[in-house]
């Protein structure tokens, strides 16, 4: 079976399994106690902290373990904001941050603070100058992921960290996706990560806070983890997380080169094998094992089911795969196609034969989904003066885009098509379709029901 969703959760590394089983026998006692069993547990915890700190590139006393990567983010942001409350309550984040960062930003806004979202380009990358422009006298903290969780784009962390350092503003880096591949370059102030992203057990997060960074832990605390992560430490899981991080780092250079060759193969061949596909994310500055593409005229959820039937596990940022029926905030911020979106994230040791089999079954899977969607209940097409109107109200993407593609050839060059839609995904997918098909996207306007999207035939 081809498990191609390592960016969500990597399979448990063999070293993590061995360390976990061993630590279950030795690390069950309270490390705060002075008797023999407690001392054994403390030795394991201290050794794990030293190993993790070495991998992160910080001092052991700057690193704590939390119950998850999300908890590490929430704790880090809340503590940094509280520690610099006298400076102000302004937070800077990129538009493609993980939801844990964006949820923290929403909480700050709800409490009366302010947030600036820095835009990204179509490759998903921020411009360091945009962070410089966003800095204010009351900026308490800036956040930037080291690499994106949906499209794999690596961010210019070192350059942004320098911009923040010059302004005296700490930078929190979410390194969940990249830490297994190597330390994060640059003068960051806080760093978070999650063990299950590199093959450690779930339920272990890391939070590093550099000495000198003002930090005030929020909520009830106790004596554990420097008062920053209350509760009994899960020592067996922590030991396994640190051991697996050291193990994956040892093989990172060789495995990165191998996986990059496989994802380069997918990036190059998918557009040749499947028509009307957009490969998204930075072509070079990206994680070794991640490649993401979107297929016109395809339903993301249906496509995932088709691939699952062929024994491939992938993920998607399409609107139809979420309960909100809105596209991924990452794809929306990038302004790229969201319909029929597929993210392939290869785990360590992914077999070349599985990649080749994936490329062999993908065209049939996309064709099957498109065929099912090719004969929907026909949208009403009428003419208003010189404008062709397509009524797709009540129909979810990709239906509005499919209907647009069907009628664009019925209007003369320079003629207009007006697509009526009440699906939020259409706001992203129709402009993306126009760019892919060399048509002119004129804009949108309010309609009696939903939104009217105007497209001028240019080719």
Active-site residue set: 320
User: What is the radius of gyration, based on Cα positions, of the chain?
Assistant: 24
* Letter string b/e over residues 94-127, b meaning 16 or more CB atoms within 10 A of that residue's CB: bbbbbebbbebbeebeeeebebbbbebeebbbbe
Q: Could you tell me where the DSSP H helices lie in 86-150?
A: 99-110, 128-134
Length of the chain in terms of residues written:
459
Distance of CA 250 to the CA centre of its chain: 25
Query: How many whole angstroms separate alpha carbon 285 and alpha carbon 147?
Result: 9
Helix (H) or strand (E) holding 47: helix 36-56
Helices (H) and strands (E) in the chain, counts: 13, 17
Closest CA to 75 of 200, 217, 206, 188: 217
Which class for 29: exposed (0-12), middle (13-18), buried (19 or more C-beta within 10 A)?
middle
- Residues 104, 125, 398, CA angle at the centre, nearest 5°? 85
Beta-bridged to residue 293, according to DSSP, are: 279, 342
Bin 26: left if φ > 0, else alpha if -120 < ψ < 50, else beta: alpha
Question: How many CA atoms lie within 13 Å of 318's alpha carbon, on the beta-carbon side?
Answer: 25
Beta-bridged to residue 341, according to DSSP, are: 294
- The phi and psi torsions of 264 (rounded to 5 degrees) equal -60, -40
- Residues 58, 157, 267, CA angle at the centre, nearest 5°? 120
């Amino acid at each position: 079976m081809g498990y191609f969703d390592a960016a969500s959760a990597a399979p448990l590394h063999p070293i993590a399994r061995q360390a976990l089983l061993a630590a279950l026998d030795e690390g069950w006692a309270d490390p705060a106690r002075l008797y023999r069993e407690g001392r054994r547990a403390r030795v394991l915890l201290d050794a794990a902290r030293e190993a993790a700190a070495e991998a992160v590139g910080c001092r052991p006393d700057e690193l704590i373990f939390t119950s998850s990567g999300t908890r590490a983010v929430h704790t880090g942001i809340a503590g940094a904001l509280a520690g610099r409350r006298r400076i102000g309550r302004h937070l800077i984040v990129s538009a493609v941050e993980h939801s844990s960062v964006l949820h923290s930003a929403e909480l700050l806004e709800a409490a009366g603070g302010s947030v600036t979202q820095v835009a990204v380009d179509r490759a998903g990358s921020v411009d360091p100058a945009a962070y410089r422009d966003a800095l204010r006298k009351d900026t308490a903290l800036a956040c930037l992921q080291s690499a994106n969780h949906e499209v794999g784009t690596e961010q210019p962390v070192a350059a942004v960290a320098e911009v923040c350092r010059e302004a005296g503003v700490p930078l929190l880096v979410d390194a969940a996706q990249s830490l297994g591949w190597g330390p994060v370059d640059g003068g960051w102030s806080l760093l978070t990560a999650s063990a299950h992203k590199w093959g450690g057990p779930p339920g272990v997060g890391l939070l590093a806070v550099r000495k000198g960074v003002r930090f005030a832990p929020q909520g009830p605390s106790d004596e554990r983890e420097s008062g920053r992560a209350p509760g009994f430490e899960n020592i067996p899981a922590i030991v396994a997380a640190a051991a697996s991080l050291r193990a994956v780092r040892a093989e990172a250079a060789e495995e990165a080169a191998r996986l990059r060759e496989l994802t380069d193969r997918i990036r190059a061949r998918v557009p040749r094998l499947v028509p009307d596909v957009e490969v998204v994310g930075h072509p070079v500055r990206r994680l070794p094992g991640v490649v993401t593409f979107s297929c016109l005229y395809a339903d993301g959820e249906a496509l995932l089911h088709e691939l699952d039937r062929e024994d491939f596990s992938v993920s998607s940022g399409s609107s139809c795969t979420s309960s909100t029926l809105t596209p991924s905030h990452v794809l929306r911020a990038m302004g790229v196609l969201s319909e029929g979106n597929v993210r392939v994230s290869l785990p360590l040791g992914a077999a070349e034969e599985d990649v080749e089999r994936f490329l062999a079954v993908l065209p049939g899977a996309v064709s099957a989904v498109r065929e099912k969607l090719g004969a929907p209940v026909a949208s009403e097409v009428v003419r208003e003066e010189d404008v062709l109107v397509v009524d797709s109200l009540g129909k979810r993407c990709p239906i509005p885009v499919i209907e647009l593609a069907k009628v664009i050839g019925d209007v003369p060059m320079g003629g207009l098509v007006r697509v009526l839609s009440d699906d939020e995904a259409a706001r992203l997918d129709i402009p993306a379709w126009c760019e892919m098909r060399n048509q002119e996207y004129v804009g949108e306007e309010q309609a009696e029901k939903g939104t009217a999207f105007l497209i001028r035939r240019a080719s």
